[in-house]
Amino acid sequence: MSAAKNSRKKDRAGLGVAPAGSSSRNYGLPLPGLSGEEFGGSLIVIEGMDGSGRSTQISLLTEWLESEGFAVETMGLRRSGLVAKDIDALLAENTITRMTLTLMYATDFYDQLEHRIIPALRSDFVVLADRYFYTLIARAAVRGIERDYLHGLYEMALRPDLTFWLNVRPEAAFEREFRKSHAISYWESGRDLSLSDDLYKSFIMYQAKIKKEFEALAERQGFVSMDGEASVSAVNAELRKRIAAHLGIQRTHYRPSAALAQLWR
């Protein structure tokens, strides 16, 4: 496959198109039908591997922002109306090849971008993204697809206002995931890469590869890297501080409601 090799050295998770910190809201190309349009709202991304506490933080941030009077929309991977179910089915089958999976995820991403994120931003919402295309790039890159191909694929994506990376050791993520679901899935442990027959080893090796991709992305894209192994309340306080500064919220005090109290540890 020609899109697989070559640029490993020349483009370490680089963007190649628009430099990070550019004021443009996309990565080099506008979506068809969207050129020149300005809209408000804020796009805030939380990245991190499974077990890094992303979804917990998104639930808490949603409640906090709503209590501060901000309208919130969320997005995540495999949540599009168009192809989410098809991807589920493809993953269950295991017959899917890496390019097809990469492009199905890209379809899922752009469907949400065009039908969910952009309409929400037009209405001045705060969009909280439970992962973004960065995860998709990292997953495809560790499977040997060229990084500049992948960045080209997402050239029309919106540039987030803030991206947080909840950084955890793969060992800690494994423990958290295992405690949560008492099992580790085929894809989360990268079994398709045949790294090890030992599920634990495979998980650690796979997540370490993903983490390496993220380290390069974090540098190029200006992610705010955070200690995902700190307590939920400590991580949440730091997130609130940064988001408050961006949105101009004066008071960052927050205690979760009874409904979310069990997340607060």
Partner 1 sequence: MATRTVPATDPASIEPAEAPGEDSQLLEPARAYPGALIVVEGIDGSGKSTQLYLLKRWLEIGGYRLHFTEWNSSPLVKSATRRGKQRRLLTPTTFSLLHAADFADRCERQILPLLHSGYLVLADRYIYTAFARDVARNCSPRWLRNLYRFAPIPDITFYFRAPLDVAVNRIMSGRPKLKHYEAGMDLNLSLDRAESFRIFQGRILAQYDEMIESDHFVVMDGTLPVNKLQKQMRQYVKSRIDLSRFAPKKAARRAR
Q: Residue 201 corresponds to which amino acid?
A: K
Question: What values do phi and psi take at 91, rounded to 5?
Answer: -65, -35
User: From residue 48 to residue 87, what is the string marking binding to partner 1 with x (rule CB under 8 A)?
Assistant: ---------------------------------xxx--x-
Among residues 115, 180, 241, 255, the one that binds partner 1 under rule CB under 8 A:
115
Amino acid at 172: A
**Nearest-5° angle of CA 180, CA 183, CA 185?**
110
In degrees to the nearest 10, what's the CA dihedral of 23, 27, 28, 30? -100
Cβ–Cβ < 8 Å for 51, 176 = yes
Residue 192 within binding range of partner 1, rule CB under 8 A: no
Residues of span 147-166 touching partner 1 by CB under 8 A: 149, 152-153, 155-156
Q: Does 249 bind partner 1 (CB under 8 A)?
A: no
* Closest separation in Å from C-beta 113 to partner 1: 8
104 binds partner 1 (CB under 8 A): yes
Residue 61 or 153 having the CB closest to partner 1: 153
Q: Closer to partner 1 by CB, 19 or 81: give it.
A: 81
Cβ proximity to partner 1, 116 vs 211, nearer residue: 116
Is the backbone of residue 32 left (phi > 0), alpha (psi -120 to 50) or beta? beta
Residue 92 binds partner 1 (CB under 8 A): no
Q: Which structure tokens are listed for 254?
A: 């927050």
Q: Are 128 and 58 in contact (CB under 8 A)?
A: yes
Q: How far is the CB of 61 from partner 1 (least distance, A)?
A: 28
Least Cβ distance, residue 169 to partner 1 (angstroms): 34
Size of the site for partner 1 (CB under 8 A): 32
C-beta atoms surrounding 222 within 10 Å: 14
Q: Does 27 bind partner 1 (CB under 8 A)?
A: no
* Minimum distance, C-beta of residue 153 to partner 1, in the bound complex (Å): 7
DSSP, res 26: B
- 103-133 in b/e burial notation, b at 16+ Cβ within 10 A? ebbbbbbbbbbbebbbebbeeebbbbbbbbb
Q: How far apart are CA 83 and CA 240, in angstroms?
A: 33
Stretch that binds partner 1, among 105-113, 160-168, 178-186, 222-230 (CB under 8 A): 105-113
Q: Are 135 and 77 in contact (CB under 8 A)?
A: yes
Q: By CB under 8 A, name the one of 75, 106, 140, 168 that touches partner 1.
A: 106
Binding interface with partner 1 (CB under 8 A) = 1-4, 29, 31-33, 81-83, 86, 90, 96-100, 102-104, 106-107, 110-111, 114-115, 149, 152-153, 155-156
